[in-house]
Copies of this chain bind each other. A is one copy, B any other.
Amino acid sequence: MSVVSDNAKAGAGRTIISVDAMGGDRGPATVVAGIARSAKKNPDIGFILHGPIDELERLVARKKVLAGRVEIRNAEGVVSMDDKPSQVMRTGKSTSMWSAIESVRNKEADVCVSCGNTGALMMLSVVRLRKLPGVNRPAIAILWPSRNPQGFNIMLDVGADIRADEHDLLQYALMGASYARNGMNIQRPRIGLLNVGTEEHKGRAELKSAHDLMAENAATSNFEFVGFVEGGDIPGDRADVIVTDGFTGNVALKTGEGTANLIGSLLREAFKFSPLSRLASVLAFTSMQRLKKRIDPRRVNGGVFLGLNGTVVKSHGSSDATGVSAAVKLAFTLSQSGFSEKLAARVASAVQLQQDAETSGDKNGPNT
Contacts of A260 in B (CB 8 A): 259, 263
Min distance, Cβ A43 to any Cβ of chain B, angstroms? 33
On whether the beta carbons of B259 and A235 are closer than 8 Å, the reply is yes
**Which of B201, B234, B261 is the one whose CB lies under 8 Å from A258?**
B234
30 sampled A-B residue pairs with Cβ under 8 A: A146-B262, A147-B262, A159-B196, A162-B196, A163-B204, A203-B247, A204-B247, A230-B250, A230-B254, A231-B256, A231-B257, A233-B258, A235-B255, A235-B261, A236-B258, A244-B251, A251-B252, A255-B256, A256-B256, A260-B263, A269-B291, A270-B287, A270-B288, A270-B291, A271-B284, A273-B290, A276-B286, A277-B287, A280-B280, A281-B284
On whether the beta carbons of A287 and B271 are closer than 8 Å, the reply is yes
On whether the beta carbons of B287 and A196 are closer than 8 Å, the reply is no
On whether the beta carbons of B231 and A253 are closer than 8 Å, the reply is yes
Contacts of A61 in B (CB 8 A): none
Q: Is A19 part of the contact surface with B, judged by Cβ < 8 Å?
A: no
Contacts of A254 in B (CB 8 A): 230-232
Given contacts A146-B262, A255-B259, A276-B283, 12 further A-B contacts (CB under 8 A): A145-B262, A194-B251, A230-B251, A231-B252, A232-B254, A235-B261, A252-B255, A259-B259, A260-B263, A267-B291, A270-B287, A284-B284
Q: Is A266 part of the contact surface with B, judged by Cβ < 8 Å?
A: yes
Q: Is A246 part of the contact surface with B, judged by Cβ < 8 Å?
A: yes
Which residue of chain B has the shortest Cβ distance to A246 in the bound complex? B196
Flag A183-218 by CB within 8 Å of B: 1 or 0 each: 000000000001010000111100000000000000
Residues 278-328 (chain A) with a chain B CB within 8 angstroms: 279-284, 286-288, 290-291, 294-295
On whether the beta carbons of A196 and B247 are closer than 8 Å, the reply is yes
> CA–CA, A260 to B255, complex, Å?
11
Chain A's interface size range is 35 or more
Min distance, Cβ A8 to any Cβ of chain B, angstroms? 41
- Cβ-closest 5 pairs across A and B: A231-B254, A280-B284, A280-B283, A232-B258, A231-B255
Contacts of A368 in B (CB 8 A): none
Q: Is A359 part of the contact surface with B, judged by Cβ < 8 Å?
A: no
On whether the beta carbons of B253 and A251 are closer than 8 Å, the reply is no
Q: Is A106 part of the contact surface with B, judged by Cβ < 8 Å?
A: no
Flag A158-181 by CB within 8 Å of B: 1 or 0 each: 010011000000000000000000
On whether the beta carbons of B250 and A247 are closer than 8 Å, the reply is no
Contacts of A267 in B (CB 8 A): 267, 291
Contacts of A263 in B (CB 8 A): 260, 263, 295
Contacts of A354 in B (CB 8 A): none
Contacts of A273 in B (CB 8 A): 287, 290
Contacts of A91 in B (CB 8 A): none
Q: Is A274 part of the contact surface with B, judged by Cβ < 8 Å?
A: yes
> CA–CA, A294 to B279, complex, Å?
22
Min distance, Cβ A275 to any Cβ of chain B, angstroms? 10
